[in-house]
């Protein structure tokens, strides 16, 4: 059954919010984009995000295996710096403004009960980092859109994969092929929104979509904050 964030998870999130608020009071936050004091993402940098005219769907929908796919912005400038800070510098507070920016840009034609499902990290990677940035984004989106968030572990990364950064077009697909498993029965007949930070080739989305379809998902939508491009072996951009 689809569920909203559990009471325990809400307690943990609230505790983290108060902790982050106390830290911000003692050490005023700096914008991840420009370094100005006052917010983790200032209005000027937020307004500098470059929207994708076609929402990034062109050329991705087929390869991703999703019924619908949308990316909000171009992966550059202040947005790129903010995503990097969320992923690698432990600035978890960026999840809320980035999720709001994504929601402001993307208007999905999906059922209100569609499950929000973050692209999972392997447990080893999650323990190393301390959190899954895609899960933070999906949790914030759950509050913004009031869509249910899937239980942790119902879509999981079954093996450790290399980072996609630096891999060529074909290697990205090979790297994540068969890397995800979805809990049988949980997704049966459901509409699922898979959430990630950045889409390049659609390889990760494709691997997640295959696992979800195998578990009975009826409709899959892939969304991401940003899209970047990668040169294919034939010299064409993807």
Burial readout 204-238 (b: 16 or more C-beta within 10 A, e: otherwise): bbbbbbbbbbebebebbbbbbbbbbeeeeeeeeeb
Query: Where are the domains positioned within the chain?
Result: 51-227
- Assign 184 to helix, strand or coil: coil
Q: What is the pLDDT of residues 167-185, one digit of tens each?
A: 666 766 667 777 899 998 9
How high is the pLDDT of residue 219? 94
% residues pLDDT > 70 (the chain): 74
Burial class (CB in 10 A: 0-12, 13-18, 19+), 3: exposed
φ, ψ for residue 50, nearest 5 deg: -95, 115
Tens-place pLDDT, residues 140-162: 999 999 999 998 899 998 876 65
The predicted model gives 179-202 an average pLDDT of 93
51-227 is classed CATH 3.40.50.2020: yes
| Weakest-pLDDT range from 103-107, 135-139, 211-215 | 103-107
- What does residue 201 show for φ and ψ, rounded to 5 degrees? -95, -20
* 27-39: pLDDT as tens digits: 789 999 999 999 9
pLDDT of residue 61 exceeding 70: no
Residue 77 is predicted with a pLDDT of 97
Give the pLDDT confidence of 69-97 residue by residue, as tens digits.
Answer: 999 999 999 999 999 999 999 999 999 99
Q: What pLDDT, on the 0 to 100 scale, is given for residue 62?
A: 64
Q: From CA 67, how far away is CA 219, in angstroms rounded? A: 6
pTM value? 0.82
Report pLDDT for 149: 96
Look at residue 166 in the predicted model and tell me its pLDDT: 60
All residues at 6 or more sequence positions from 92 whose CB lies less than 8 Å from its CB, including other chains: 16, 20, 86, 131, 136
Residue 54: pLDDT over 80: no
Give the sign of the dihedral formed by CA 168, CA 169, CA 171, CA 172: positive
């Amino acid at each position: 059954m689809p569920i909203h964030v559990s009471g325990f998870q809400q307690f943990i999130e609230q505790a983290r919010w108060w902790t982050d608020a106390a830290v911000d009071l003692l050490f005023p936050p700096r914008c991840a984009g420009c370094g100005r004091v006052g917010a983790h993402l200032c209005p000027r940098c937020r307004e500098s995000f470059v929207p994708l005219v076609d929402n990034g769907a062109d050329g991705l929908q087929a390869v991703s295996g999703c019924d619908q796919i949308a990316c909000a912005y171009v992966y550059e400038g202040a947005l790129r710096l903010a995503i990097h800070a969320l992923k690698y510098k432990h600035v978890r507070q960026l999840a809320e403004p980035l999720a709001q920016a994504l929601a402001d840009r993307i208007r999905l034609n999906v059922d209100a009960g569609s499950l929000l499902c973050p692209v999972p990290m392997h447990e080893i990677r999650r323990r190393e980092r301390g959190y899954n940035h895609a899960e933070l984004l999906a949790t914030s989106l759950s509050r913004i859109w009031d869509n249910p968030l899937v239980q942790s572990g119902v879509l999981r990364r079954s093996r450790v994969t290399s980072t996609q950064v630096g891999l060529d077009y074909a290697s990205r697909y090979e790297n994540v092929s068969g890397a995800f498993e979805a809990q049988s029965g949980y997704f049966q007949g459901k509409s699922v929104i898979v959430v990630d930070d950045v889409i390049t080739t659609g390889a990760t989305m494709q691997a997640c979509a295959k696992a979800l379809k195998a578990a009975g998902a009826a409709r899959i939508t892939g969304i991401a904050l940003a899209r970047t491009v990668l040169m294919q072996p034939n010299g064409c951009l993807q």
